[in-house]
Amino acid sequence: MADERRRVAGPVHVEGEVVATKRVGGYRHLTLTAPGLPERFRAGTFVAVSVAGHIARRPLWIHRVRASSAFGPTLDVVVQVRGSGTAWLAAQPVGTRVAVTGPLGRPFALPKDPVACLLVGEGYAAAPLFPLAERLRERGCGVSLVVSAPDEAGLLSALEARRSVRSVTVLTADGSVGQRGRVPDVVDDLVARSDADIVYAAGPTAVLASVAAAAERAGSWSQVAVEVPTPCGTGLCHGCALPVVGEDGVDRVVRGCTEGPVVRGDRVRWDALGAGS
Amino acid sequence: MSAPLPGPVMVAAGCGGTGRELEPFCGDDGLDGLHVVTRSITLDARSGGPGPRVVEVPGGLVNAVGLPNPGLEHFLATELPWLVRAGARVLVSIAGATMGEYADLARRLARAPGVAGLEVNVGAPDDVGAGLYEVREPFHSASVIAAVRREFASDRPVLAKLRPDVSRIVEGARSCHEAGATAVVIGNAVPAAFPDGRAGGLSGPAVAPIALRCVAEVRRAHPDVPTIGCGGVRDLASANAYLDAGARAVQVGTALLHDPTTVARLRATLRTTAHLPGPEETP
Ligand SMILES: Cc1cc2nc3c(=O)[nH]c(=O)nc-3n(C[C@H](O)[C@H](O)[C@H](O)COP(=O)(O)OP(=O)(O)OC[C@H]3O[C@@H](n4cnc5c(N)ncnc54)[C@H](O)[C@@H]3O)c2cc1C
Ligand SMILES: Cc1cc2nc3c(=O)[nH]c(=O)nc-3n(C[C@H](O)[C@H](O)[C@H](O)COP(=O)(O)O)c2cc1C
């Protein structure tokens, strides 16, 4: 007995096309068509993209979707070149066809009530926080956004987000723009100032761990978007081990791509994930 | 007694998630009628190995996932009923630390509603299946198959999944068949190392020629032993290579991790080609 509703809501695997590519700071922003995918998007989900000559997929956060454009519905991703796969992606011209699977993973959970929310994002990983901010604002939540990076080139622009949030804090480790500092050093202050009931975070493991700990100290909920090496992205291979504590208090290893990537911050076993790296 | 042979396209063990994650990529039919081999199930839950569990190498993947699974009890209560409801023909892959565990797993699965058959994992690369019964000798594999067969109804298939080791495959296939295996799955991840030297298993296109050679050898020596090819199947050509060599069906693993629609597409294509060995009765 096929569950039709589930299949409609579930991810798709389609041939997409690069319809725009733009260098912004240290990143490459790609706009892709992917029939059926943007319509299913929820903030915090990601796509798995195929790279020529490679078997494993490359997971990328969905930064934004447009319901309509000259190319129909599109989605944007932000690529930071790390190895051969991201280098290939960043170099593709408009017109390149790529296999795209998504939206994948559990999205950010949204509060039912219009509560105060703090969103902390570092580097490219801040990408899913922008559409999240819009959803939260639609629900009447007061949103404080923190965008952080080692330097200016690593910052995602918060210009557009200013419309949907109450306050924006820009944080760079080298002080090149905004406030000088790193998330772990200022996070308690940020949480206190925002008076947030829920703290959302996306970024490197050390940043997520510090935010989760600060939220717990302040008695707030936290939702963190965790990145672990992800071979397939679809939940098929069990390769993306994410150590958590289950609701029953028992240690478990779940799939980052399927039971995550967004999980409650107090559920992650940060030490087993090697937080601090 | 005869048991139907699954196929012609099956989902290989450990590469279809719990089934739920695969279903959205299987088109209108979903999992209906599809032969799905589960990831290997052990009596007790296993959390799997440390990361990185899977890395890419030219031509394939090296994995040391470590057989993560919720244990038999939990599998029977949750994953199996879901698969059955989705219409999948479920072949449960089993792995044990002792011969007794294999027999135990088989006995309890024989009573579970909806189990279409068993696949006995007697060929995991060393260390990847750390703690598993030592079945490298064909004699040991055959004893496991015999123990499983005693517990599992003879009208349902028991598949023996062997490592594609050409120096042992002929004897292994013959002895497992004699011990009661309905067919022999030839192919598993091939013992290999991660770039950092850790033990793992190689899968994907790189291993296809190795498993194909094994299928051909078994076919030559024992044409009466039904075989199922597994290793690097990703398209019609790679599937047909096994079928042409005498395999009765193929399993798709790594290709699903690259393109989760592979099984649905192959199923649709093979249905319309002349090869189709189909779910025949074996003598
Ligand atoms: C849920 C999620 C969302 C992500 N979103 C983005 C994004 O929006 N923008 C961005 O630039 N990067 C993102 N990443 C990280 C990005 O996927 C990796 O940097 C990329 O896969 C590395 O591929 P490569 O070939 O360039 O590097 P290599 O080091 O050559 O990668 C080799 C292999 O390791 C895997 N891998 C290595 N490091 C990682 C990692 N940190 N995360 C996942 N897989 C890894 C790759 O998938 C590939 O299979 C995300 C990761 C995850 C898990
Ligand atoms: C991530 C991963 C997990 C696997 N898990 C299992 C398993 O639980 N049991 C098993 O018998 N084989 C397992 N295998 C082996 C595959 O089922 C298959 O035999 C092998 O990978 C070769 O086929 P392929 O090249 O199509 O992947 C696994 C392979 C991979 C890549």
The per-residue pLDDT for range B36-83, each reduced to its tens digit, is 999 999 999 999 988 899 999 999 999 999 999 999 999 999 999 999
Spatial separation of the C-alpha atoms in residues B6 and B247, rounded to whole Å: 12
> How far out from the chain centre does Cα A5 lie?
26
- Window 30-69 of A, Cβ < 8 Å to B: 50, 54-57
Put simply, whether the predicted model's pTM sits higher than 0.90 gets the answer yes
Within 8 A of A54 by CB-CB distance, chain B residues are 56
Cβ atoms B41, B112 nearer than 8 A: no
Q: Omega of the bond prior to A103 within 30 degrees of 0, cis? A: yes
Ligand 2: distance of its center to the CA of A267 in Å? Answer: 30
Q: CA B181, B186, B192 angle in degrees (round to 5)?
A: 130
Is the confidence at residue B132, as pLDDT, over 60? yes
State residue B10 phi and psi, 5-degree precision: -130, 160
CB-CB under 8 Å, A12 with B258: no
Confidence band, pLDDT 50/70/90 cuts, at residue B140: confident
Q: What is the pLDDT of residue B131?
A: 63
- Answer CATH for B9-281 from 3.40.50.20, 3.20.20.70, 3.40.50.720, 3.30.413.10: 3.20.20.70
Contact B275, B8 (CB under 8 A): yes
pLDDT of B4: 77
Q: Which of A2, A12, A231 sits opposite B54 (nearest CB)?
A: A231
Taking only the tens of pLDDT, chain A with its 277 residues reads 444 444 457 999 999 999 999 999 999 999 999 999 999 999 999 999 999 999 999 999 999 999 999 999 999 999 999 999 999 999 999 999 999 999 999 999 999 999 999 999 999 999 999 999 999 999 999 999 999 999 999 999 877 778 889 999 999 999 999 999 999 999 999 999 999 999 999 999 999 999 999 999 999 999 999 999 999 999 999 999 999 999 899 999 999 999 999 999 999 999 999 764 3
Which residue, by CA, sits nearest to atom 29 of ligand 2?
B14
Element (H, E) at A221: strand A221-225
**Contact between B21 and A235 using a beta-carbon 8 Å cutoff:** yes
pLDDT at B179 (0 to 100) = 96
Is the pLDDT at B90 greater than 60? The verdict is yes
Share of chain B above pLDDT 90, in %: 82
CA-CA distance, A276 to A205, in Å (whole number)? 7
- Model pLDDT, residue A150: 96
| CA atoms within a 13 Å half-sphere pointing along the CA-CB vector of A54 | 21
pLDDT band, residue B24 (cuts 50/70/90): very high
Which domains are assigned to chain A? 12-104 (2.40.30.10), 116-224 (3.40.50.80)
Using the CB atoms, write b or e for A104-129: b if 16+ within 10 Å.
bbbbbebbeeebbbbbbbbbbbbbbb
Is A169 in CB contact (< 8 Å) with chain B?
no
What is the residue with the minimal CA distance to atom 7 of ligand 2?
Answer: B14
| Ligand 1 atom showing the smallest separation from residue A260 Cα | 1
Which of A7, A13, A55 to mutate: most B Cβ within 10 Å? A55
Structural domain spans, chain B: 9-281
Q: Give chain B positions within 8 Å (CB) of A234.
A: 17, 21-22, 25, 257, 260
Nearest CA in chain A to B82: A1
Chain segment B216-256, per-residue pLDDT in tens:
999 999 999 999 999 999 999 999 999 999 999 999 999 99
CA distance A105 to A181: 31
Give the residue ranges of the annotated binding site of A for FAD.
78-80, 85-86
Q: Smallest Cα–Cα separation from A55: which of B10, B13, B206? A: B206
